[in-house]
Structure 1
């Protein structure tokens, strides 16, 4: 099946070997976050640059990339290396200082649901695995579109609740309920999970994201696909129910009107 222009470059990169490599790195999210987020950062830069080139015909050099929920700035070096000005927004000061990464004068503390950024001021607004951690993800999505320049790209990538990683560190027990999974994790480890259901982890679904992307009047939906799947499995996004279980992480790409 032919790909829309915006995803054509990235589709060529979305191979089975890439999927296997990323899956192996996911095991280290809690035990070795530098390894996990380092691999994710490199892949994220490829994703955004490929989508930007597909949509605009140009690379990221000279652009402003806003990363909503940027944490301690794992993605900073990667975006700077391709010539972009990288600006992370993070609400949690603990997360902002979790790693020794110099973001002085650049990082902004603020909520994704009320971005402290001027309307129409960034070329690319990107969020990776954050929407499932906010109580109103579509309000955050609206905010991401608001701050994007007309003609610019908004890329939202998030983990689906009914997918295999929906419970994050609580494992597959989330299929029996987020609260039950959290209690089991506490009994097993002696401490609360980092991602606490109902407080910092919420059930977000594929169908919800597609409905929001198709209904917003501020953006044009250019593509929606599973972030970590090989390109021959992207058809799953089109199948209700199945997509909630197997897509795992949905990417929606919009152009700001």
Structure 2
């Protein structure tokens, strides 16, 4: 499945790690760079995707569009995008897309594995990537440690400090999703011959962390689940 093992390097991991503080300061720059990395990751996992029908589930305000300019790219959002719709009930026919991917959306929907099933239904190849709650970035903008004391605590502390609630409000637009949950869903929904799971922001030699219960919840940070259609 992986054609260029050199893509998942320590250098790439450090570059991504150093870019995270820019999300709030310069979101256009942050998400444009992340979109380019996502495009390269998809081609590493799936092969060339130029000209293919691509569905981006939760594509946001359009930062990913340029990275997929040579594809038939459709972005779905609850309140925007090319198509307005619920990720848990995708308004598309079975097998409508060659590739369906989602970048950091599963932790923002109440039923992420319903979303996952829908992605499998409408897509051929599927790549679902999401933030692990117990990882350092699980609280998103509410802090690197505050969410370990509870999502409500992190939300309320942010509101008190900044004078307004966070964009990602625990229990409403952000939920505690574990690594183990995603792996259990993948085991149920995807045949072993078509499945791959790994930590998105880690170098290739650190992928073993996904296999260690407990440790994976703290250190995987972002889990990628791949269905490479036969």
TM class, shorter-chain normalised? over 0.9
Q: CA RMSD in A?
A: 1.4
Distance 2:46 2:75 in 1: 18
Distance 1:63 1:23 in 2: 30
Hey, what does 1:168 align to over in structure 2?
140
Question: CA contact under 8 A between 1:220 and 1:254: conserved in structure 2?
Answer: no
- 2:24 match: secondary structure: coil
Question: CA contact under 8 A between 2:132 and 2:223: conserved in structure 1?
Answer: yes
Hey, what does 1:189 align to over in structure 2?
162
Q: CA deviation at 1:216?
A: 1.4
Evaluate the alpha carbon distance shift between residue 38 and residue 134 of structure 1 in structure 2; reply closer, same or farther with a 3 A threshold.
same
Distance 1:14 1:45 in 2: 13
Name which of 111, 114, 118 aligns with 2:86.
111
The within-5 A match list for 1:86-235 is: 86-93=73-80, 96=81, 107-148=82-123, 152-171=124-143, 172-216=145-189, 221-235=194-208
The within-5 A match list for 1:9-158 is: 9=4, 11-53=5-47, 59-80=48-69, 83-93=70-80, 96=81, 107-148=82-123, 152-158=124-130
Distance 2:7 2:190 in 1: 31
Distance 1:231 1:207 in 2: 20
Name which of 240, 245, 251 aligns with 2:213.
240
- 2:17 match: secondary structure: helix
Q: CA deviation at 1:62?
A: 2.1
Question: CA contact under 8 A between 1:63 and 1:124: conserved in structure 2?
Answer: yes
Distance 2:175 2:194 in 1: 24
Q: CA deviation at 1:61?
A: 2.1
Q: Which runs of 5+ in 1 are unaligned?
A: 1-5, 54-58, 97-106
Distance 2:2 2:138 in 1: 25
Question: CA contact under 8 A between 1:218 and 1:256: conserved in structure 2?
Answer: no
Tell me how many residue pairs correspond in the alignment: 229
Distance 1:224 1:218 in 2: 12
